[in-house]
Structure 1
Amino acid sequence: MLSEIPPDIPSIGLQFRLDGGIFNLARLRAKTKTTFCEVRELQYADDSATPDQTAEDLQSLADAYSSAYERFGMQVNTDKTKTLVQHPPGQTLPALNIEIKNQPLEEVDQFSYLGSILTSTPTCKKDVNRIMAAHSVFGRLNCRAFNNHALMMNTKIMVFRAVVLSMLLYACETWTLYRSEIKHLERFQQTKLRQIMKISRKRHTSNSEVLERAKMTSVEVTIIRYRFRWTHHVHRMQNSRFPKRMMYGELAKGTRPRGVPKNALQRPAESHSGSN
């Protein structure tokens, strides 16, 4: 389908270099060893997404895809096609108003796909709120597994790790977490493990002792382990695969603001001024 798209259609530029350190962004300034590619389509299982940087470019890309589909005797389902815009920090953009065959596409603030939640703000707060889903799964297994006296404690812990913890940390390899969010996830893990092992609060059992009895690691260590496993998986991919190019590259256009990221708990400047 990509061969049917004219080469002059706007796209997102990506520059990458598959050698050197991943976090050494200075290596991407080389003119001879850096490769450029254009991104017009992102595959999600049997669906696809068409990213772009402006509403005008996205409209041109949507028209190009609609024309390409017609050549194959297909058409875009406007009821299932949504648009989502991620605003720059501190800015608000007008509505996209993207149309396909004079049919407007619905603009949404968040979109759920394969268990992950894509939002208009580039954060993982919606994904971290999977605690309610994990709590629901725990409740459905409470009578049959966790409160079942016929099952051994090791079996209960294995069920918790395989079902509840997997639901809680689904797609955590891509999360950018703050310390408060990690503590929120660890609090859920500690509460459920203490409930399974019948550990009362009056015993004053430390969190490390609870993890040692359950033969489990903390949520933070588990997320780090998942990230290393996913990174190794991407590293072993072929050089032509987009995830590997994305991990070893960056956007060709756009600049980052200088300095360290602002602290989420930082107060406004006027709040620090006061009378002596």
Structure 2
Amino acid sequence: MIRTINRLQFGLHYGDRVLSDADYANDLALVSDSLSKVTEALQILADKTLKIGLSINWQKTKVMFVELRNSPRPLPVLMIGDKPAKIVEEFTYLGSILSNDGSILKDIMHRIAAVVGRLSVL
């Protein structure tokens, strides 16, 4: 999968580097500044996984558009092949709550609540 992703040449550019994905175990987060590139990447990944006997769990697949605060726009309908992608305003990845407005407040509050919960059993 890593070779497939690297060949797609998409992602967020910062300086001379490109961030295109974050992988952990069987989780994959694709990052791009282009809707068409993410759509293409998801379709290619779906095709490649089928060739090796795997499949993408479309019920767990989520798409999040990161927006600047106070500049909302209507969300597009995103289809990968004949399957609609679930568009979300936030999701949890590796225990961290990611929000489409870039805010980390929900993640911080979630972590504080977890600590308070653990402390209450001591």
TM-score normalised according to structure 2 size: 0.80
Trace 1:84-233 onto structure 2 (pairs within 5 A). 84-129=64-109, 130-141=111-122
- The question of whether the paired residues in 2 share the 8 Å contact of 1:10 and 1:60 is answered with no
The partner residue of 2:31 within 51, 60, 69 is 51
- Secondary structure at the counterpart of residue 49 of structure 2: helix
Q: Per-residue CA shift, 1:99-126, capped at 9, x if unaligned? A: 2331112112221233211111212101
- The offset of 1:77, in angstroms, is 0.7
Alignment of 1:79 onto 2:59:
yes
Residue type at the aligned position of 2:13: G
In 1, Cα distance between the equivalents of 2:117 and 2:6?
Answer: 48
Larger Rg: 1
- Relative to structure 1, the CA distance from residue 5 to residue 111 in structure 2 (aligned partners, 3 Å threshold; closer, same or farther) is closer
Structure 1 Cα separation of the partners of residues 63 and 75 of structure 2: 10
Count of equivalent residues: 121
Identify the residue that residue 3 of structure 1 maps to in structure 2.
3
Q: How many angstroms does 1:67 deviate by? A: 1.8
Q: State the identity as a percent.
A: 23
CA contact (8 A) 1:55 1:96 kept: no
**Cα deviation per residue 1:235-254 (whole Å; 9 max; x = unaligned)?**
xxxxxxxxxxxxxxxxxxxx
Higher helix share: 1
Shift of 1:5: 5.0
Question: Distance in 2 between the 1:6 and 1:65 partners?
Answer: 12
- The normalised TM-score by structure 1 is 0.39
Structure 1: gaps (5+ residues): 16-35, 142-276
What amino acid is aligned across from residue 2 of structure 1 in structure 2? Answer: I
Where is the strand percentage greater, Structure 1 or Structure 2? 2
- In the alignment, the residues of structure 1 paired with residue 66 and residue 5 of structure 2 have an alpha-carbon distance, to the nearest angstrom, of 25
